[in-house]
Amino acid sequence: MNRIAQLTCIVALSFCNFVFAADLSVADIEQKITAKQAEYNNYNKNLESEIGAASKLEKDLEAVRQNVTLADADRQSALIEMNLQYEKMVDNPELDISSTKANYAKAVRTHKAIKDSITAKYNEWQTKLQDVERMQVSKHSLLNTIEGLKEQLNGARIDRLYKEFNRQEAVVVSHNIACDKDETISKCTERGKSLAKQKASKRFLDSLYDGLSESIQASARRESSDVFVQVVRSEVAESNFSGQGNFNVKMNLQLQGNLKRAEGCALLGLDRRYCVGNDSKVAPVLAEKPKVSSPDGSVMYELTVRSNVFDDEVFIDGVSYGSTKLQIMVPAGEHDVEVVKRGYEPNRQRITIKEPTTLKLDLQRTKYAFSKGEKIQDILAGDIPGPELVVVPAGSFRMGDITGTGLDNERPVKTRDLKQSFGMSETEITVKAFEQFVKATSYVTDAEKDKGCASYSEGQAVWESNRNWRSPGFAQSDKSPVVCVSLGDAQAFVSWMSKASNQAYKLPSEAQWEYAARGGKETDFWWGEGVGTDNANCGWCGSQWSNVGTSPVASFERNHFGLYDTVGNVWEWTTSSSDINSGTVRGGAWNFAPRLARVSTRMELEPSFRANYIGFRVVREQ
């Protein structure tokens, strides 16, 4: 087995291990990540070696091509000399020209040998380039496997935290208090038992935090957490009064830690998407929670607020209490409750609290409206409407791995200045738009010409000859982003757009793409640092399309420049400012991990590569 085949097997095995990681412990998954990272580092070194070998072959080929020029000159010179000798033989038939003929024959053989060498060297170079292309794709597939394991790891960390925190324990506590002079025996007794319960609960909560596998991380966020201890059962084992008016009590208690899913993510500093779902793994609590009196004597009831969306914000009497599902103690009486989220109409209700209450406030999407002049749409030849464009204003920004969580090819961070505004298609180019181009030009894509389109299967890019933009391996609608297109296919589309509209269309440069995708932000995603849940269609991002296929364009919110799907759905072809024929895809895809959907992530590919997770969008210059 050659080295390329061995490396391909490594990627395939990586995916298999990832598939079986779901039921493993935190330690097991961490061990697998370490092993896969070592494989990735070794794979990356081999790739660099293969790239160097391809570069050397190219230089060797150029050197041989220079030699053939010299050999051809020698052959021509030998031919001229032999012809002169033949002319001399007309006057002198006895003239011996055998050495001249031998020199010419040698020159011809040398010339042919060098030309044969050029052919062999060229074929060797092309084979090496194909090896490099396969390895580049496999490298990112292996990286995606590692990121998938990290997703599994975070889920396992939360499961472990639940098991460690949501447990019951029998506790025995003794407490001694001095009764006040004007306090009745009954009140002193109740106060002593209450303080004993508080003492036991505090000690138990401390022991829960101290006993966590990630105690340092959780304890650092303890003050901002809403976790609590439930007193499941309590009984007095012993009690007595001393002669000095002191009350002594010994109690047996059954205590239980209570940690909700959202609190688990908060304690470990993880994105909320790892904690979305029910709390079936949390130990059961009492069916009815008692009302609690505040210090001023008012009665407090538990209010639970829910909505139909994630990452919303709840306001009670004008004060923000975080996102749903929210559980909070509020005084009895009237309260204003409002749930808001960007891109949705707010829902506000006035309610009267006189018992534990659950309130469901569903939100409806709003339509994003642009001011005059912010949208462009050209009418193409044949009265075909072109893609809707959003004007991206001129400006400067920092490009690259600003947050320090990226890959080597995202560094160093550089300040880029875009002096001219430009129009960018608000969505990725759709199947319908690409079909209009094909009908108008009879264009045949690279996938339809040769070996089809790649898909991500068992940890690597696998070519399927029957796959192309019409049939990528999953259902597509007119509103789905077109996939299985190479860089050449995308450039052919923008060339047609330019002719059909008499405007200057092109693929976005990397700088234009990242500037537009950031939307004026310096976080990993235009809405913040974490990918969240159901904000985009990427692997393990919580949408109905994640790890299944593409979503219809504009299925999620626009960014602050008005662009859809700059995170996930499909990788998008961009060009380098120095070489328009070089290809880099940006933005992540439906089957790639969230870390690879960050705004600065770059994946360098051969221009001829196409896959069912790669599409593009267009730019129109002023």
At 474 the pLDDT is: 95
At residue 333, does pLDDT exceed 90? no
Domain end call among 108, 137, 160: 160
Q: What is the percent of the chain where pLDDT is above 70? A: 86
At residue 7, does pLDDT exceed 50? no
Dig out the tokens for 301 from the structure.
Answer: 């009831």
Give the separation between CA 506 and CA 493, rounded to whole angstroms.
Answer: 9
- Is 139 within the bounds of a domain? yes
Burial zone of 314 (CB within 10 Å; 0-12 exposed, 13-18 middle, 19+ buried)? buried
At residue 396, does pLDDT exceed 60? yes
**Residues 56-73, mean pLDDT to the nearest whole number:** 84
Query: Three-class SS string for 544-580?
Result: CCCCCCCCCCCCCCCCCCCCCCCCECCEEEEECCCCC
At 526 the pLDDT is: 95
pLDDT tens for each residue of 459-470: 778 899 999 999
- Is 204 within the bounds of a domain? no
At 77 the pLDDT is: 86
For tokens 């009267």, the residue is 352
- Is 530 within the bounds of a domain? yes
- Is 56 within the bounds of a domain? yes
Task: End-to-end CA distance of the chain: give it in Å, rounded.
Answer: 54
For tokens 């799907």, the residue is 565
Domain that holds residue 388: 375-620
pLDDT tens for each residue of 82-122: 888 888 888 888 888 888 888 888 888 888 888 888 888 88
Give the separation between CA 534 and CA 517, rounded to whole angstroms.
Answer: 18
267 vs 21, higher pLDDT: 267
- Is 127 within the bounds of a domain? yes
Lowest mean pLDDT among 138-152, 379-393, 573-587: 573-587
Contact yes or no for 281/163 (Cβ under 8 A): yes
Q: Residue 29: count other Cβ atoms within 10 Å of its Cβ.
A: 22
Give the separation between CA 593 and CA 141, rounded to whole angstroms.
Answer: 10
- Is 333 within the bounds of a domain? no
DSSP of 377-438: -PEETTTEE---EEEEPPEEEEES-SSS-S-GGG-S-EEEEE-S-EEEESSPPBHHHHHHHH
At 9 the pLDDT is: 46
Please, what is the average pLDDT of the chain?
84
- The candidate with the shortest Cα–Cα distance to 11, out of 136, 133, 139, is 139
Lowest mean pLDDT among 15-19, 286-290, 360-364, 457-461: 286-290
The one-character DSSP state at 21 is G
Q: At 225, is the pLDDT very low, low, confident or very high (cuts 50, 70, 90)? A: low
SS3 label, residue 365: strand
At residue 50, does pLDDT exceed 80? yes
Lowest mean pLDDT among 333-337, 341-345, 505-509: 341-345
**Residues 452-477, mean pLDDT to the nearest whole number:** 91
At 165 the pLDDT is: 87
244 vs 234, higher pLDDT: 234
Dig out the tokens for 249 from the structure.
Answer: 């009590």
Give the separation between CA 479 and CA 555, rounded to whole angstroms.
Answer: 10
The residues, any chain, with a CB within 8 Å of residue 217's CB and separated by 6 or more, are 267, 268, 269
15 vs 440, higher pLDDT: 440
DSSP of 167-189: -EEEEEEEEEEEPPTT--HHHHH
- Is 40 within the bounds of a domain? yes
Domain end call among 160, 186, 207: 160
**611 pairs with which residues across the strands?**
454
What type of residue sits at position 247? F
556 vs 177, higher pLDDT: 556
CA angle 494, 497, 500 (to 5 degrees): 155
pLDDT tens for each residue of 352-388: 987 667 899 988 865 433 333 367 888 788 778 889 9
**Residues 414-424, mean pLDDT to the nearest whole number:** 91
Dig out the tokens for 204 from the structure.
Answer: 């138990």
CATH number where 112 lies: 1.10.287
At 586 the pLDDT is: 97
At 67 the pLDDT is: 81
Dig out the tokens for 162 from the structure.
Answer: 């639940």
At 499 the pLDDT is: 93
The one-character DSSP state at 213 is T
Q: Phi-psi bin for 333: left (phi > 0), alpha (psi -120 to 50), beta?
A: left
Domain end call among 160, 185, 208: 160
CATH number where 405 lies: 3.90.1580.10
**506 pairs with which residues across the strands?**
619
At residue 46, does pLDDT exceed 50? yes
**Residues 301-319, mean pLDDT to the nearest whole number:** 79
Give the separation between CA 327 and CA 304, rounded to whole angstroms.
Answer: 4
- Is 276 within the bounds of a domain? no
Query: Three-class SS string for 442-493?
Result: CCCCHHHHCCCEEEEECCEEEEECCCECCECCCCCCCCCECCCCCHHHHHHH
Number of domains comprising the chain? 2
At residue 204, does pLDDT exceed 70? yes
Q: Is the dihedral of CA 461, 466, 468, 470 positive or negative?
A: negative
At 91 the pLDDT is: 83
At residue 8, does pLDDT exceed 60? no
At residue 212, does pLDDT exceed 80? yes
Contact yes or no for 11/141 (Cβ under 8 A): yes
At 363 the pLDDT is: 85
At 15 the pLDDT is: 41
**Residues 397-423, mean pLDDT to the nearest whole number:** 92
At residue 279, does pLDDT exceed 80? no
Lowest mean pLDDT among 319-328, 396-405, 493-502: 319-328
Alpha helix stretches (DSSP H) within 502-547: 510-518
**Residues 410-437, mean pLDDT to the nearest whole number:** 94
362 vs 258, higher pLDDT: 362
At 320 the pLDDT is: 74
Dig out the tokens for 153 from the structure.
Answer: 């790891």
Give the separation between CA 328 and CA 226, rounded to whole angstroms.
Answer: 9
